[in-house]
Chains A and B, each alone.
Chain A
Amino acid sequence: MATATATTTATTPEKRKPVRRGTVARLVVLTLLGLIFVSPLIFMALTSFKNRIESAAVPPTLWPHDPTAEAYRSVLTSSGTPVLRWFVNSMIAASANAALVVATAALAAYPLARMDFRGKRVIFGLIVATIFVPPVILIIPNYLIIGKLQWLDTLLAVIVPTAAGAFGVFFLRQFFLSLPSELEEAAALDGASIWRTFLSVVLPLSKPALATLAMLAFLTNWNDFLWPVYVLFSPESQTLPAGLSTLQSANNVRYDLLMAGAMIASVPVLVIYVFAQRFIIEGVSRSGLKG
């Protein structure tokens, strides 16, 4: 890829500026940096296919001599560390959380973007202010609230409370504000109710933003660590990140097993990332602009 880039730039210079020397230097620096970012991930993948002895070999081998899925079989079938169950739990929790975030945030963001009503500024100010509330002060009281709701050690504990975050409302409000209001006015003129307008005009126009928010919520929930570690305690109820901690305690230096577990926790998000990285990155970067 690096060579291809270099030749294209050399043959079809886009700008008149003397960029060639800089281009090569930049490519070298960026490729080295890229290696620093990607090689640990590749090494994780390769190690997960090594056997127990090779995974701890000194000096380490790069390519597995005798590729085996033994580590995967082992972590997926062990009863003390039911990784398959964690995978299912993570899928359920992250999907349900993403759905809840998108539904509640879209409903809340619409009036904040489009309607005039008393108290709008106060309520929006309150919601935005909590973006900067450090999560630490919510942990202890939310643990007790979850306990009173009888949700401890159930997936509801990791699905519902995190959907209260302000980011989704903030993100969709900005998006709704960027939509032209003429279409909504036309719908209103045709006699559509506000609800109808929201459902059949606003939401269809907002599909990219809704999809981006759903993916960000899914990733955040899938990766959430601190909260599940404390609210999900029995092995069957854990999600993958909390489970990785359990797996690490149970297999302290069995790096073949740990890398297989880490791979199982990474592959779904990496797949989403490969297909939707543009939306994810743009979703994240947009959040900073309005700060």
Chain B
Amino acid sequence: MADNVLVEQRPQVTEPNGGTGKRVRSPGAPPPGVPWLFMAPYLLLFGGFVLLPIVYGLWISLHDYDYTLPGHPWVGLANYTALFSSDSTVFSDFWNSMKATGIFTLGSVPLLLVVPLAVALVMNQRFKGRNVFRALFFAPYVLGVAVVAVLWRFLLDANIGLVNQVAGAVGLPDKTAWLTSTPSAWVALIGVTVWWTLGFNAVIYLAGLQEIPEELYEAARVDGASAWQRFRHVTLPGLKPVVSFVTMITIISSANVFGQPYLMTRGAPGTETRTAIYYFTDQGLRNYQMGNAAAMSYVLTLVLILASLLVTWAFRERRG
């Protein structure tokens, strides 16, 4: 409807405007200060809860910041060096949690890149009921991690859980301790995460697939390209920016995994599945050791920045 209005108005608007050459307070050239007035409420939030914390966190990480104590003495880089010296109290817990996050990320990212792509390719074909399936696959994502984790802890209960019961019924082992032993706990955490977020990545892929011009496929077909060749030489190159984006956000969200282990395994067995964020927040907001928790979060961020650079490099344009 807006399009029709536009078509009718176009000549009326542009011609008198161009004719007189007068531009009265069009939004394009605002009086000075107006853009900043518009942006002020958001910039207040952005400054206060994004920019300030980034700097403030760095400052905290340079102090022995125990929330429960009145003084917060400056310690320079001690919180950082502690993470890299094996005789410090936090060394083994920190690296244990980084390792847990690493295992989770390495296990979940490839699955969350490939499986949703396969689903999106199937969904990209024209067939009846497509939107219903799309809605079904996306459904778990709208539920949030707390519901998903509580639900799956029930389904994965070693004794009464549906998963073991179904496994037993089809002749598979039915006593798997999904939540209290590794490696099955990793299978559970990664599997649940794939179930939860597959739809999210799939709809992003799907939108990307729909941006690839149909003519390219037609041309490839005329040239006698097989289905695999069309996928390899039309779909994948056309999808490259989207794959790069999905890779980036999937790595970041996997590296920030918290709710699944917090609610499903509580870090068990021992602290093997206690992930980085789980440990950092425990250290900073339960034990109130905010200085070293802040330092840990900057180290993790640095690792993520390096990972992002690696992704950007891997997806760089190779031609020209």
- By a beta-carbon cutoff of 8 Å, the part of chain A in contact with chain B is 1, 5, 8-9, 14-15, 23, 26, 29-30, 33-34, 36-38, 40-41, 43-44, 47, 56-60, 103-105, 107-108, 110-112, 114-117, 120, 123, 126-127, 130, 132-145, 160-166, 169, 179-186, 188-189, 191, 193-194, 197-198, 205, 219, 222-226, 229-230, 240-242, 244-245, 248, 253, 255, 258-259, 261-262, 265-266, 269-270, 272-273, 277-278, 280-282, 284-289, 291
Contact = CB atoms under 8 A, between A and B. Distances in A.
A273 B142 contact: yes
Contacts of B57: 137-138, 140-141
Contact of B242 (A143, A164, A291): A291
Contacts of A255: 154, 157, 160
B2 A180 contact: yes
Given A164-B45, A230-B285, A130 B137 contact: no
Contacts of B246: 288
Interface in B241-266: 241-242, 244-246, 248-249, 252, 255-256, 258-259, 262-263
Contacts of B52: 141, 145
Interface in B280-319: 280-281, 284-285, 290, 293-294, 297-298, 300-301, 304, 308
A140 B259 contact: no
B159 interface: yes
Contact of A258 (B14, B154, B211): B154
Interface string B59-90: 01000000100000000000000000000000
B9 A277 contact: no
Interface in B12-40: 12-14, 16-17, 24-30, 32, 34-36, 38-39
B281 A183 contact: no
A161 B49 contact: yes
A285 B43 contact: no
B133 A140 contact: no
Nearest to A135: B256
Nearest to A9: B128
Nearest to B296: A136
11 contacts: A135-B256, A138-B50, A141-B56, A141-B294, A144-B67, A145-B52, A186-B12, A248-B150, A273-B135, A278-B131, A281-B135
B30 A185 contact: no
Q: Which 8 A-B pairs have the closest CB atoms?
A: A223-B144, A291-B245, A288-B204, A241-B146, A111-B35, A285-B207, A108-B42, A141-B53
B106 to A, nearest CB: 17
A60 B162 contact: yes
Contacts of B136: 34, 37-38
Contacts of B51: 126, 130
A150 B23 CA distance: 49
Contact of B297 (A38, A139, A162, A287): A139
